[in-house]
Amino acid sequence: MTLMILMAIICLLGGLFFFATATIGLLRFPDFFTRLHATGKGDTLAVFLSLLGLAFYEGFSLTGLKIVIIAVFMFIAQPTATHAISRAGMRSGLTPWMKEKKEQ
Amino acid sequence: MNCFFTVVGLCLCIFVFCALYRAIFGPGVFNRVAAISAIGTKTLVLLLIFGLLYERVDMFIDISMVYALLNFIGCVAAAKYLESQGGIE
Amino acid sequence: MIVQSEDIIIRTIARILIPFIQIFALYVIMHGHYSPGGGFQGGVILGASMVLLFLTHGYEESKARMTEKVALLLSSVGVLIYAGIGMLCLILLGNYLDYSRLATILNVDAAHARSLGILGVEIGVGFAVMAVMFSIFFDISTGGFSPEDKDNGV
């Protein structure tokens, strides 16, 4: 097993792990803004690692370079979309979730 | 190597269905927009894995790039509309 | 009336990304014969880049780039290119849209002439689709009232 295929398997497994944690966060967090934390950061890193792993598998060819271009574009565009939707949520009046104070 | 890609693809499909639960039952429209953006991100990686399984990656790369573009533009447009109109429960 | 987004992050990122989106759209138009793409798909991506420009920068700053009059003109130019190539083949003693007759004026053989003819009609289709997508977005979002009208629907 060559070095490139080994790095491809490691990057793909890392991407799959971050996808899993991002999806569990999307399901279990109590509020909209906390769910945006999970899907904005976790999904971006997961896509970057997965596409990097696929580019390692393809090698130094035209298709590998195109996959790296897609990965860079997702790294720039996904946090911007998350920022836009969270700003829209703030402007239209959603209140963040606060932990209830325990009455003594 | 094909077996590994198949397992990764199946796991991504399960994650898409988990995000679909939030898209259906999310209270309010903002949760649904966030879930659709997450589904689009997972679809993009799933398309490339399909390309590798069928050994024709050249065809699927352009399609996945276009889908990434349209996901971004759709999310920005939905955010701008909802900012002025507010969310409906 | 489309107002400008007052957030600086979205405006800056859109300003960086829009030229690359347009270059990718031109790539999709040019490589339609080999990979998935062609005239209609490239035109849709060009129209989407114009929609992104108008969403993030508002009407005042974007009307230097694209107005509704230019969009109407471009859609007609696209159809003119498509029909014009067909008429050119008819004038050169062939059938309508028979690209092999273009070989007489371009000094290439028949196979190259067909390839260039298809590229020409794809470019025409791209122009028309971009202009129509932009027109639909503009008409729906402003409700038909353009600030350039003399009487504003009064």
- Whether the pLDDT of residue C47 is over 50: the answer is yes
Residue with more model confidence, A68 or C107: A68
- Rounded to an integer, the average pLDDT of B14-32 is 93
Q: What sign results for the dihedral spanned by CA atoms A31, A33, A36, A38?
A: negative
Give the range of the structural domain holding residue C59, as residue numbers without chain letter. 8-142
Residues C137-146 have pLDDT tens digits of 988 888 777 6
Q: Is residue C30 situated within a structural domain?
A: yes
pLDDT in the model for residue A24: 95
Q: Is A31 helix (H, G, I), strand (E, B) or coil?
A: coil
CA atoms lying within 13 Å on the CB side of residue C85: 24
Say if CB B42 and CB B71 are below 8 A apart. Answer: no
- The answer to whether residue C107 sits within a structural domain is yes
Locate C74 and state its tokens. Answer: 């471009």
Residue B39: the pLDDT is 95
Q: Within 13 Å and on the Cβ side, how many CA atoms surround C69?
A: 6
pLDDT value of position A104 = 55
With respect to residue C154, please indicate whether it lies within any of the assigned structural domains: no
CB pairs under 8 A between A and C: 16
Residue C3, in any domain of the structure: no
- Which of the four pLDDT bands, split at 50, 70 and 90, describes residue C83? very high
Is A66 an 8 Å CB contact of chain C?
no
**For B73, nearest residue in chain C (alpha carbons):** C52
Provide the pLDDT confidence category of residue C154 given band limits of 50, 70 and 90. Answer: very low
Q: Name the residue among B58, B73, B80 with its Cβ closest to that of C48.
A: B73
Read off the pLDDT of each residue in C78-106 and give the average, rounded to a whole number: 89
Cβ neighbours of C48 in B, within 8 Å: 69-70, 73
Distance from CA of C117 to the nearest CA of B (A): 24
The pLDDT confidence band at residue C21, using thresholds 50, 70 and 90, is very high
- pLDDT tens digits for range B56-71: 888 899 999 999 999 9
pTM: 0.90
Q: Which of A44, A52, A70 to mutate to test the interface with B (most CBs of B within 10 A)?
A: A70
Radius of gyration of chain B (CA): 16
Of residues C67 and C128, the one with the higher pLDDT is: C128
- pLDDT by 10s per residue, chain A, length 104: 789 999 999 999 999 999 999 999 999 999 999 999 999 999 999 999 999 999 999 988 999 999 999 999 999 999 999 999 999 998 888 888 887 766 55
Output the pLDDT for position B1.
83
Position with higher pLDDT, A51 vs C2:
A51
User: Could you tell me the residue ranges of all domains in chain B?
Assistant: 2-85
Is residue C111 over pLDDT 90? no
Predicted pLDDT of residue A103 = 59
Q: Which residue has the tokens 């060559």?
A: A2
**How many domains in chain C?**
1
Does the beta carbon of C21 lie under 8 angstroms from any beta carbon of chain A?
no
pLDDT of residue C151: 56
